[in-house]
Amino acid sequence: MTFDETRFMELLRDLQRILDAALNSLAGTEPPTSVSHYISWAALFISRTSAGYIILHDAGQIHSSKLLIRPALETTFAAAAAVKDPKFLYRKAYSEWLEINKLFTKDTAGKMAADQELKELDKAFRQDCPQHPVEKKKIKIEETAQMAGVSAVYQGAYRIYCQFTHGALHAVMGDLDEATDRKTAYTMAWCVLMMLDLLQKNSPAQIPDLTAHKRILKALKRGA
């Protein structure tokens, strides 16, 4: 483990502890908006994912830990997109409904239940965001990243770590190890810091000033 990687892991552990504390501070509170509610759930997912990453990394399971990067990035993209555009959450829910609905091609009762779920989703969105039209349009992760304002991360880190998720030849044969070993902890730390920032701005979570952590992450990235 290189010196730089040690520093990245120290930062990640600190950020993960802050995220856990922030989530605990939300206990008993009512999210002010549906977006705030979603951000809280997304933050919990990131907390669990980063905790799993730390456990695998510390156990020397570097390859296994890389499988957690893609879901962490996707969740971070989605949370940021939800904040920037209220229509995103409906499109995400609708896109996921389309996929689930494929399970019921020969199940009439399941199809009826899924259709009812969509009607309830439409109603909830119209009540929550009356100024925005219901847009039944599937959204892909690239567009999600664009809406979140992080297209560069999609084009770089996301495309690389997708290779591990898909078991691509380059990943299976170890060709991507050198390019990713020193970047993985940084990418997970970026996700956690992004989620803390979103929580801080869109929920009543108690979070300390993150300026120093942002400065450290930026400095470490330059040296990686």
Q: Yes or no: say if 200 and 214 are a contact pair by the CB < 8 Å rule.
A: no
208 vs 128, higher pLDDT: 208
Structure tokens at 206: 């108690």
With 0-12 / 13-18 / 19 or more C-beta atoms within 10 angstroms meaning exposed / middle / buried, residue 66 is buried
4 burial level (CB within 10 Å; 0-12, 13-18, 19+): middle
Confidence class for position 71, pLDDT limits 50, 70, 90: very high
Structure pTM? 0.91
Q: What percent of the chain has pLDDT over 70?
A: 97
Is it the case that residue 4 has pLDDT exceeding 70? Answer: no
């995103």: which residue's tokens? 88
